[in-house]
Amino acid sequence: MKHVLNVLVQNRAGVLVRVAGLFSRRGYNINSLTVGVTENPEISCMTIVVEGDDRIIEQVTKQLHKIVEVLKIKDVTNDEYVGRELLMLRVLAEKEDRVEIMKMCEIFRIKIVDINRKSFIIEATGNHSKLNAIEEAFRPYGIQEMSRTGIIAMVRGDNKAARRD
């Protein structure tokens, strides 16, 4: 089963390698890993999607905690959370297809951020399955290039555990 872990780490050189190294060394299956800053410039947040049963996830969490720079780990899988990924794709847009593609973008409520003579760049954010749907929808026109990020996640409501002051 897929688990989404929000991991707060001290923003220091080498932390990412320590975390990534841990996953490879212990043979854990990592689906995606996203790192970014938080409201506190000294703290980064990693969102890690990892596959495994409860026992493995427990080990992952415990091993992550042993990394000195890891401050807090929250498995948000079973919480109400907002998870978002970013997708960018360059889709072939011949004259006869252009209107149709633009309509589709409206339906999906996503943006065209660059227009070329033969192609569009489309930007979309959403959860994993929505982006999968978008990808599939545009595939018939010809996807020339695609790039997707991992997920970043935030628990809904007044998440007391997330407060870090």
Partner 1 sequence: MNGAEAVIACLELEGVETVFSYPGGAVLGLFEALSNSTQIKNVLTRTEQGATHAASGYARVRRTAGVCIATSGPGATNLVTGLATAYMDSIPLIAITGQVSTSMIGTDAFQEIDITGITRPIVKHSYLVTDVKTIPSVIREAFYLATTGRPGPVLIDLPKNVADAECRAQIPGKIDLPGYKPTFKGHKLKIQRAAKVLQNAKKPLIYAGGGVVSSGAEEVLQELAHRIDAPVAVTLMGKSAYPFRDGYFVGMLGMHGAPAANLAVSECDVLLAVGARFDDRVTSNVEKFAQGAEIIHIDVDPAEIGKNVEVDVPIVGDAGAILRDMLEVLEPAEHQAWRARIESLRPMHSDAYADLPGAPLHFRDVIRKLNRMTKGKAIMTTDVGQHQMVAAQFFNAGRRGGFVSSGGLGTMGYGLPAAVGAQLAAPDDTVVCITGDGSLQMTMNELATAKAHKLPIKIILSNNGNLGMVRQLQKFYKGGNYFGIDLEGNPDFSKIAEAYDMAYLCVARPEEIEPALQQALDNGRLTLVECLIDCEEMVYPMVLNGCGLDEMVMADKQ
Q: Which residues bind partner 1 (CB under 8 A)?
A: 9-10, 13-14, 17-18, 21, 25, 55, 58-59, 62-63, 65-71
How many other CB atoms are found less than 10 A from the CB of residue 132? 14
**Least Å from the CB of residue 61 to partner 1:** 9
Q: Would you say 70 or 153 has its CB closer to partner 1?
A: 70
Q: Would you say 43 or 92 has its CB closer to partner 1?
A: 43
* 21 to 9, 18, 24, 107, 140: CA distances (angstroms): 15, 5, 5, 42, 39
**Least Å from the CB of residue 115 to partner 1:** 41
Q: Would you say 22 or 92 has its CB closer to partner 1?
A: 22
**Dihedral, CA of residue 17, residue 22, residue 27 and residue 28, to nearest 10:** -90
